[in-house]
């Protein structure tokens, strides 16, 4: 019996020697695609590793531009680094890739400026620490994401920034983007 246990132990040690290190295993589980949104150039680029897979121009952002200090109802797109928190392929906007906004940097700035109280700051912080969607009902707003035009006018989309704070693509661009995106995909909006 002892020799069987020793053999099993030896096999486990040998097998462990061929496993990738924990950091490599974590990297394998991490989404490799990432999205870069340039609010000045009005472009969205999807990268996988260092390779550009998709590059869209003439995107639309919030009708009043972009900001590091987004508030509910300001019709501005938040700047920062986010992750895809939910995917709704059948939304009225021809797909919706929801962001984990508000993030901690926005919440910390808002707390320091007196725009939110400690209760809301704790709710946002706690949701992020648990890997959950942060509350969408604070004075910082919510429901921010990347979406298509839906049944809207593509000509209007091509000429104006029209969203309430989201990033909008054409429906065809959304069809190309959605297959590349998984929960946790990083989105940098600058």
For residue range 90-143, list pLDDT tens digits in order.
Answer: 899 999 999 999 999 999 999 999 999 999 999 999 999 999 999 999 999 999
For residue range 59-80, list pLDDT tens digits in order.
Answer: 999 999 999 999 999 999 999 9
CATH for 147: 2.40.440.10
User: Tell me, what's the pLDDT at 23?
Assistant: 37
Residue 83 lies in a domain: yes
Residue 135 lies in a domain: no
Burial class (CB in 10 A: 0-12, 13-18, 19+), 141: buried
| Domain count for the chain | 1
User: Tell me, what's the pLDDT at 128?
Assistant: 95
Question: Across the chain, how many H-helices and E-strands are there?
Answer: 6, 10
Residue 73 lies in a domain: yes
Strand order in the sheet with 186-189: 51-57, 43-48, 33-38, 186-189, 80-88, 96-99, 145-147, 167-168
pLDDT band at 32 (very low <50, low <70, confident <90, very high): confident
User: Tell me, what's the pLDDT at 119?
Assistant: 97
User: What number of other Cβ atoms are within 10 A of residue 14's Cβ?
Assistant: 9
Helix (H, G, I), strand (E, B) or coil at 118: helix
Compute CA distances 56 → 97, 118, 172, 176, whole Å: 16, 39, 11, 10
pLDDT band at 189 (very low <50, low <70, confident <90, very high): very high
Domain that includes residue 48, residue range:
35-101+141-189
Residue 121 lies in a domain: no
Q: 128 near 176, Cβ under 8 Å?
A: no
pLDDT band at 5 (very low <50, low <70, confident <90, very high): very low
Mean pLDDT, the chain, rounded, equals: 87
pTM passes above 0.95: no
Residue 134 lies in a domain: no
pLDDT band at 29 (very low <50, low <70, confident <90, very high): very low
The first and second tokens of residue 31, run together, are 């989404």
The first and second tokens of residue 155, run together, are 């000509």
Residue 2 lies in a domain: no
């Amino acid at each position: 019996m002892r020799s069987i246990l020793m053999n099993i132990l030896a096999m486990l040690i040998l097998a462990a020697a061929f496993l990738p290190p924990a950091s490599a295993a974590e990297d394998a589980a991490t989404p490799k695609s990432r999205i870069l949104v340039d609010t000045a150039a009005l472009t969205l680029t999807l990268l996988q590793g260092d390779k550009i897979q998709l590059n869209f121009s003439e995107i639309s952002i919030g009708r009043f531009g972009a900001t590091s200090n987004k508030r509910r109802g300001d019709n501005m797109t938040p700047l920062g680094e986010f992750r895809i928190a939910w995917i709704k392929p059948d939304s009225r906007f021809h797909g919706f890739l929801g962001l984990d906004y508000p993030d901690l940097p926005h919440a910390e700035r808002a707390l320091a400026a007196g725009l939110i109280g400690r209760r809301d700051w704790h709710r946002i912080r706690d949701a992020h620490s648990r890997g959950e969607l942060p509350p969408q009902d604070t004075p910082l707003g919510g429901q921010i994401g990347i979406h298509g035009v839906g049944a809207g006018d593509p000509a209007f989309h091509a000429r104006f920034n029209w969203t309430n704070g989201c990033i909008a693509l054409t429906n065809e661009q959304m069809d190309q983007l959605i297959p590349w995106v998984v929960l946790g995909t990083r989105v940098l909006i600058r």
